[in-house]
């Protein structure tokens, strides 16, 4: 029983990083109706900038976090300008394929510049875990959960209470009409892309500082976890992204405990498969067709 609860707690904590990854992913998907496969690799580039700062200049975790978030945002803008801006009004497949090509490009660039397989990453806290009855709570995990919930609230606020949020929701609703009311769609989409990649940067920093290392594989890992959590939660749904992430984390934690670490990643795919089969809209996605993720009709 204690194990069950402890595993659930660990799952929620790890899941909050998946949720954060899904948050950025779902923001891009909601605005563009496009899958950005380069999402994870953009974050990985941020991580590489971070590790250089840490190893070369001995920067502290906060400076590394700031640089990594900025690096991920800039890499995100690069991806948007290259893969998405030129094909805004059509060619969903083309922009997805070109984002895959940029994934490979970013990964190779990272390997060329820093050829070793792993580089160290600064831990966020080194304090002992908190004890809560028989259960252990890691401080960095709590920070992760706090960031996930805080950023969800911040995004909801930005989307529903600000002028920029109104513009983004208008673009989601009907991009042609957004042009017609005088929204600068191209700039708004680019900013949304940068913000989403920055959120990915926050998630990436938290995960890497728990792992205390970064590898070129981190990009693929981030894209996969974010994608699966987003799809479980419901494409384009902000609260769904966090819920999907938490659910994925909990399922993984239990599977690892009962069946071993090999089964852990398999479990993620099984959960995704089951959702796609019985409830393709995800936890909070609306029924296909009425969803904001429905195909846009210009």
Question: Is the backbone of residue 151 left (phi > 0), alpha (psi -120 to 50) or beta?
Answer: alpha
Tokens of 238: 């902000």
- Give min distance, CB of 250 to other proteins, in A: 30
Strands 213-214 and 135-137: unpaired
DSSP 109-120: HHHHHS-SS-EE
Identify the residue among 180, 217, 274, 276 touching other proteins (CB under 8 A). Answer: 180
For 33, residues 6+ apart whose C-beta sits below 8 A from its C-beta are 92, 293, 295, 296
- Give min distance, CB of 189 to other proteins, in A: 14
- Give min distance, CB of 229 to other proteins, in A: 23
- Residue 175 or 219 with smaller CB distance to other proteins: 175
By the rule CB under 8 A, 153 interacts with other proteins: no
Identify the residue among 32, 199, 284, 292 touching other proteins (CB under 8 A). Answer: 292
Question: 3-class secondary structure for 136-182?
Answer: EECHHHHHHHHHHHHHHHHHHHHHHHCHHHHHHHHHHHCHHHHHHCC
By the rule CB under 8 A, 31 interacts with other proteins: no
Query: How many residues bind to other proteins according to rule CB under 8 A?
Result: 18
By the rule CB under 8 A, 166 interacts with other proteins: yes
By the rule CB under 8 A, 176 interacts with other proteins: yes
Identify the residue among 177, 217, 266, 276 touching other proteins (CB under 8 A). Answer: 177
By the rule CB under 8 A, 174 interacts with other proteins: yes
Question: Between vectors from CA 165 to CA 160 and to CA 171, what angle results, nearest 5°?
Answer: 120
Q: Which residues are near other proteins by CB under 8 A?
A: 163, 166-167, 169-170, 172-174, 176-184, 292
């Amino acid at each position: 029983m204690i194990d069950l609860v402890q595993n659930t707690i660990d799952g929620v904590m790890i899941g909050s990083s998946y949720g954060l990854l899904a948050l950025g992913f779902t923001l891009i998907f909601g605005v563009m109706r496009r899958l950005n496969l380069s999402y994870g690799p953009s974050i990985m580039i941020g991580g590489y900038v971070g590790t250089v700062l840490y190893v070369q200049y001995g920067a502290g975790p906060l400076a590394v976090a700031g640089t990594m978030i900025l690096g991920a945002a800039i890499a995100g803008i690069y991806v948007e300008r290259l893969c998405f801006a030129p094909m805004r009004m059509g060619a969903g497949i083309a922009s997805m394929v070109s984002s895959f090509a940029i994934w490979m490009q970013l990964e190779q660039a990272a390997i060329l510049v820093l050829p070793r397989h792993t580089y160290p990453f600064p831990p966020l806290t080194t304090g002992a875990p908190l004890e809560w009855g028989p259960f252990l709570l890691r401080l960095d995990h709590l920070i992760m959960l706090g960031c996930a919930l805080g950023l969800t609230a911040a995004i909801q606020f930005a989307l529903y209470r600000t002028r920029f949020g109104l513009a983004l929701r208008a673009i989601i609703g009907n991009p042609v009409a957004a042009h017609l009311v005088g929204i600068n769609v191209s700039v708004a989409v680019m900013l949304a892309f940068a913000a989403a990649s920055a959120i990915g940067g926050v998630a990436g920093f938290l995960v890497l500082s728990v792992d205390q290392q970064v590898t070129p594989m981190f990009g693929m890992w981030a894209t996969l976890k974010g994608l699966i959590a987003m799809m479980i939660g419901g494409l384009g749904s902000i609260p769904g992204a966090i819920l999907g992430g938490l659910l994925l984390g909990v399922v993984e934690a239990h599977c690892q405990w009962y069946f071993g670490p090999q089964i852990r990643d398999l479990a993620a795919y099984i959960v995704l498969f089951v959702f796609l089969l019985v409830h393709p809209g995800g936890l909070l996605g609306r029924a296909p067709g009425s969803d904001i993720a429905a195909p846009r009709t210009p």
